Copies of this chain bind each other. A is one copy, B any other.
Amino acid sequence: MIDVQNQIDTRGIKIQQTGVTNVYLPFSIWIGEEIQQVLARLRFTVSLNKNIRGTHMSRLMEILTDFSATPLKISDIEKIVKDATEKLETDFSAIKMAFKFFLKCTAPVSEKVSLLDIDCEISADSNKNFSLKLAVPFTSLCPCSKEISDFGAHNQRSICRVKIDFTDVENLDIAEIVKLIENQGSSKIYPILKREDEKFVTETAYQNPKFVEDILRDVVLAIRQIENISAFEVECENFESIHNHNAFAAQSETL
């Protein structure tokens, strides 16, 4: 059977990335001290030499399906891209793996334990680039609203999205980074809160008012302390309770 993909291409363009995207597979990932089985949404690509017409995408699906079965440490993800460069006979491979994982959290007074869902995306390539995206939710309470109002203060759910480039992921603990970021809002949020916890969270937020700019600056200061990173981007978004649009602040730094 003819291999049309292997036909010669004369357009003179080496393709940086070709492969599969929007692939869903289960993966088992070490998060802190435990393995979590996650629903991963994946993009998996390789480079393609300028004289070849197309890549063999079914091989990429076979590699992903194989790795889907084994528990992986974050640092094992480079094995996936290494496997692709070998099996596809190319000099570059990249993967993006997005998934929700769950963080055990303990209510501040009742100490009820619950599971907070966190969106995460890992990008890695065969050049040893590695970046981690996290979307961490918390409460923000508006300092202006508190100051100018005789009582109350508008507050809302907020999301802080970070993208951090790591130079070494051997000891990367994703859960620790989530905790670092969720501490920068007006209060942390929890799936299960009993009344005594709700009082605690309400009062904590009221005593800790923060603009989206305050949160951004505090997250920037916190991330600068993380070890083994080369660059980061931060976006904070408040789903304003008094508007139908959102407040937003963004910063990026190369270290």
Which of B3, B48, B148, B189 lies in contact with A1, CB distance below 8 A? B148
B65 near A114: Cβ-Cβ < 8 Å: yes
Which A residues from 196 to 220 make CB contacts under 8 A with B?
196, 198-199, 201-203, 205-207, 211-214, 216-218, 220
A241 near B241: Cβ-Cβ < 8 Å: yes
Closest B residue by C-beta to A192: B61
A9 near B217: Cβ-Cβ < 8 Å: yes
Cα–Cα distance between A9 and B18 once the two chains are bound (Å): 44
Q: Which residues of A contact B (CB under 8 A)?
A: 1-5, 9, 11, 13, 15-26, 36-39, 43, 45, 48, 53-55, 57-58, 61-62, 65, 68, 100, 102, 112-117, 137, 139, 141-157, 187, 189-196, 198-199, 201-203, 205-207, 211-214, 216-218, 220-221, 237, 239-252
| Listed A/B pairs (27) with beta-carbon separation below 8 Å | A13-B251, A17-B251, A20-B247, A21-B245, A21-B248, A22-B246, A23-B245, A24-B100, A24-B117, A25-B115, A43-B248, A53-B143, A61-B192, A62-B112, A65-B114, A68-B115, A139-B154, A151-B151, A151-B203, A152-B205, A154-B202, A156-B157, A189-B243, A190-B242, A193-B242, A198-B242, A201-B242
